[in-house]
């Protein structure tokens, strides 16, 4: 093996694992299956053996790798600091996830047109209210777009519309724009920004992911913006990685500009005040917020500013099962993991579930409908916008 080969990079990262097993109880797939091959330690050993040529990539072994949700819970507790997310991305580049060709549609322009048409059709026909493996995922309504920039002198904030949010979560984009404007920002919708690249990268399609990164770097004139804000924690995590993925001149432009909407609003929280709401909300922290952005405090602090709102953080500290398109790839695992949250919402008598990642929201909406649970799912900015004092100044 060449010293500089991708395999040697994989081996070097895998060799950092001391096999202590501390990560196992934190791994959602190990929790569901209790098999070494479905644990971080088992997967690292498998990746090392495949890279070293001691094993052949049989369908059974590939299934163990494909089963990883890339939630990176293992990475956040590992004493040896194994960069598991990077290691798995490298492995998947070599052995891409199988059997999900259609997921490319999500990331393409044609896919977004088809998706928009599909959502429109299911919404006007009423099918969106039917529960089922796919239809249960759909939101009740698709929204109207609000495009407006206030004539103000505040910082210019680009609003990254992404791929899935752009089609199914215009409500949250509108609400985010209102809150940002309320904090004194001038908001420019970065239309047609497309996929951030995370979906392709985590399935091993690195070339496609890099093409999205380059495309966004070319389309978005970041020099014009003070910040680039995203409403999905998964996209925010990928956008913040752009400085490591671009050439040095462009990388410098991206350094420090992308920002998660909750973090941005939390930094401006003294400008926000809210009307009381007598409800109990269960706050679900997406893996990307917990294990990659490492920021769960911003959402807590902002929601706690709503008077009388009872904010309880989910005790379910594992992936909800959505994990990009893993909810379709390993539906049984995804259902089992979402089931824990359904149970927690019922047991703790939450009236609203709040999550800041569109993938989690869609997956959990499907699980709630399938369980007959009538609990609203919102992005935190939906709730903040609804309760915002002095809303008239931005409407």
The pair of three-digit structure tokens given for residue 232, joined into one six-digit string: 């999905």
- Determine, following the binding rule CB under 6 A, whether residue 69 of this chain makes contact with ligand SF4: yes
The reply to whether 320 sits near ligand SF4 by the rule CB under 6 A is no
44, 321, 375 from 335: Cα distances, Å: 25, 7, 17
Residue 184 tokens, joined = 């004194």
Can residue 70 be called a binding residue for ligand SF4 (CB under 6 A)?
yes
Among 1, 12, 80, 127, binds ligand SF4 (CB under 6 A): 80
82 binds ligand SF4 (CB under 6 A): yes
Q: Contact between 17 and ligand SF4 (CB under 6 A)?
A: yes
**Closer to ligand SF4 by Cβ: residue 26 or 257:** 26
Q: Can you tell me which of 64, 72, 170, 316 binds ligand SF4, judged by CB under 6 A?
A: 72
Phi-psi region of 324 (alpha: psi -120 to 50; beta: other; left: phi over 0): left
10: contact with ligand SF4 by CB under 6 A: no
- Does 27 contact ligand SF4 by CB under 6 A? yes
Q: Choose among 241, 201, 196, 187: nearest CA to 219.
A: 196
Residue 338 lies near ligand SF4 (rule: CB under 6 A): no
Site pattern 277..316 for ligand SF4 (x: CB under 6 A): ----------------------------------------
Question: Of the listed pieces 19-27, 122-130, 131-139, 219-227, which binds ligand SF4 according to CB under 6 A?
Answer: 19-27
Assess contact for 156 and 186: CB atoms under 8 A. Answer: yes
* 137 is a site residue for ligand SF4 (CB under 6 A): no
Q: Which is nearer to ligand SF4, 42 or 366 (CB)?
A: 42
DSSP string, 241-271: THHHHS-HHHHHHHTT-EEEHHHHHHHTGGG
Residue with tokens 């299911």: 122
Which of 296, 266, 323 has the alpha carbon at shortest distance from 88?
A: 323
Return the range that interacts with ligand SF4 (CB under 6 A); candidates 26-34, 109-117, 208-216, 270-278. Answer: 26-34
Nearest to 186 by CA among 214, 227, 222, 138: 227
Q: How far apart are CA 7 and CA 50, in angstroms?
A: 9
Cβ-contact 13, 86 below 8 angstroms: yes
Q: How many residues bind ligand SF4 (CB under 6 A)?
A: 26
Binding residues for ligand SF4, rule: CB under 6 A, are 17-23, 26-29, 40-41, 43-44, 68-74, 78, 80, 82, 84
């Amino acid at each position: 093996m060449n010293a500089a080969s991708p395999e040697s990079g994989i081996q070097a990262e895998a060799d950092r694992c001391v096999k202590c097993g501390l990560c196992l109880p934190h791994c959602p797939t190990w929790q569901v299956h209790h098999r070494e091959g479905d644990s971080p330690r088992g997967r690292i050993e498998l990746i090392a053996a495949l890279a070293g040529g001691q094993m052949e990539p049989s369908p059974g072994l590939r299934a163990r790798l494909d089963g990883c949700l890339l939630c990176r819970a293992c990475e956040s507790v590992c004493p040896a600091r194994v960069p598991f997310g990077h290691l798995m991305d490298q492995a998947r580049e070599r052995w891409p996830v199988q059997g999900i060709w259609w997921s490319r549609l999500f990331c393409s322009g044609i896919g977004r047109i088809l998706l928009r048409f599909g959502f429109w059709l299911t919404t006007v026909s009423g099918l969106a209210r039917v529960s089922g493996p796919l239809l249960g995922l759909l939101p009740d309504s698709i929204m109207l777009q609000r495009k407006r920039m206030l004539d103000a002198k505040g910082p210019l904030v680009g609003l990254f519309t992404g791929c899935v949010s752009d089609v199914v979560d215009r409500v949250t984009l509108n609400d985010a724009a209102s809150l940002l404007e309320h904090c004194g920002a001038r908001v420019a919708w970065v239309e047609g920004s497309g996929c951030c690249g995370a979906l392709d990268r985590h399935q091993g399609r690195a070339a496609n992911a890099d093409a999205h990164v380059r495309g966004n770097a070319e389309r978005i004139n970041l020099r014009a913006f003070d910040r680039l804000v995203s409403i999905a924690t998964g996209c925010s995590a990928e956008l913040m990685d752009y400085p490591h993925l671009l050439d040095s001149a462009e990388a410098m432009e991206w350094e420090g500009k992308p920002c998660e909407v909750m973090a941005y609003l939390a930094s401006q929280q003294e400008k926000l005040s809210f009307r009381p709401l007598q409800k109990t909300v269960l706050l679900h922290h997406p893996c990307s917020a917990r294990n990659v952005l490492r920021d769960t405090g911003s959402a807590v602090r902002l929601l706690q500013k709503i008077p009388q709102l009872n904010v309880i953080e989910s005790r379910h500290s594992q992936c909800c099962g959505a994990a990009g398109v893993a909810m379709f790839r390993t539906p049984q695992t995804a259902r089992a993991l979402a089931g824990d949250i359904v149970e927690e919402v019922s047991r703790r008598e939450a009236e609203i579930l709040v999550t800041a990642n569109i993938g989690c929201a869609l997956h959990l909406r499907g699980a709630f409908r399938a369980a007959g649970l009538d609990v609203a799912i919102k992005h935190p900015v939906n709730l903040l916008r609804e309760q915002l004092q002095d809303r008239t100044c931005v409407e």
